[in-house]
Amino acid sequence: MSSWHELEKKQHKVVKLLTNSMKNNRLSHAYLFEGSVGTGKKEISLQLTKSFFCRDKNAEEPCNKCTDCKRINSGNHPDAHIIAPSGLSIKKEQIEQLVKEFGYAGVESKKKVYIIEDAEKMTPQAANSLLKFIEEPREETVAILITSNLHRMLNTIISRCQVISFAPLNVNELLEKLKNEGIPENIAKLAASLTSDFQEAKDISSDEWFAEGRNKVLKLTEDLFQKPEQAFIFLQERFLSHFSEKEQLEKGLSLLLLWFKDLLYLQLGQEEKVVFIDQIEKMKQLTMQMSQRRIVNRINVILEGQRKLHSNMNPQLLMEQVVLKMQEG
């Protein structure tokens, strides 16, 4: 069980804001916690709920020993309600049942809390039912809506909540969470270098298309160094057919950029920063054949390619230019 002190290390601004609000007795009647998956939104929601109910807390820190804390930890508190999607969505009936529950007096006090997970998954009818409920807040009631997709929430609901944004995980935190999911370190480190969103990184790690794309990037770099005359042929016959869409090619260029950055890190003696950790021995051999200047030149070629891709240049022509320029040195 986390403490506010421990949670502050992960979400400093969020925790400071909430604990100061409690200290000054100025909790909002409705919060909207938004941020990527894995950033602690539900964990902090439950911590706030415990602090709200706990009668033996030390300042803002809940005791985790009293009946209120124990029942919140086990999900059995009569005045703390958690709503989650039923199937693919949160339905109107679920919100209506919540409103009905809140029509009754609190079982042990006047206080009530409700937490809605994946709030963006409310049906339009459910969202409108909740909107009416939020517009008429009850005394000593706190609502916490949790979302990883703020853009999918009704603007009318957003405007009636205090929106608190959770900072994304840093690379090391994300890497540890991915490894705890059983994802091999070489894949986890690559995914964590491409996104700060836990769910997206997890999806990348299990995506067969991405795994094959990684292999094709490695084959392209091998050809560029060992068989430069074959690199352009491989590009035409195998690479472009895999990275056929603009979004896919963007990922391909990102992988290519990470690979060349790894070469530079090895030359600079910063092996701990390498992303393609299963390629280190091969890369070390290559660093003895290339100057830092040549590596930096190729990094600049890829960066230029990324800029041109965003300016809607033809993807095939763009990659042809990238490979030809890298062949030149």
Task: Tell me the pLDDT tens digit for each residue of 246-293.
Answer: 889 999 999 999 999 999 999 999 999 999 999 999 999 999 888 999
Our CA angle for 83, 89, 90, nearest 5°, is 35
User: Under 8 Å CB-to-CB from 306, ≥6 apart: which residues?
Assistant: 250, 253, 254, 257
Of 158, 94, 164, the residue nearest 120 (C-alpha):
158
Assigned fold of 4-167:
Rossmann fold (3.40.50)
Edge-to-edge strand ranges of the sheet holding 80-83: 80-83, 112-116, 141-147, 30-34, 162-165
Q: Across residues 240-244, what is the average pLDDT?
A: 95
pLDDT of residue 233: 93
How many separate helices (H) and strands (E) can be counted in the chain? Answer: 17, 5
Q: Torsion angle of alpha carbons 13, 15, 167, 201, nearest 10°?
A: 160
Predicted confidence band of residue 108 (pLDDT cuts 50, 70, 90): low
* Domain range annotation of the chain: 4-167, 207-328
Given a cut of 70, whether residue 122 has pLDDT beyond it is yes
Q: Torsion angle of alpha carbons 299, 186, 34, 154, nearest 10°?
A: 80
Instruction: Tell me phi and psi for residue 164, to 5 degrees.
Output: -120, 120
Q: Across residues 123-140, what is the average pLDDT?
A: 86
Average pLDDT, the chain: 91
Contact in structure between 299 and 238 (CB atoms under 8 Å): no
Residue found by looking up tokens 């994946």 in the block: 118
Would you say the CATH fold of 207-328 matches that of 4-167?
Answer: no
Buried b (16+ CB within 10 A) or exposed e, 277-314: bebeeebeebbeebeeeebebbbebbeebbebbeeeee
DSSP assignment of 155-170 equals HHHHTTSEEEEPPPPP
pLDDT of residue 105: 62
Q: Across residues 91-97, what is the average pLDDT?
A: 93
Q: What percent of the chain has pLDDT over 90?
A: 74
Given a cut of 90, whether residue 60 has pLDDT beyond it is yes
d(CA 179, CA 12): 24
pLDDT digit string, tens, across residues 144-192: 999 988 988 999 999 999 999 999 888 888 899 899 999 999 999 999 9
Q: What percent of the chain has pLDDT over 70?
A: 98
Indicate the class that CATH gives domain 207-328: mainly alpha
Which residues make beta-bridge pairs with 86?
89
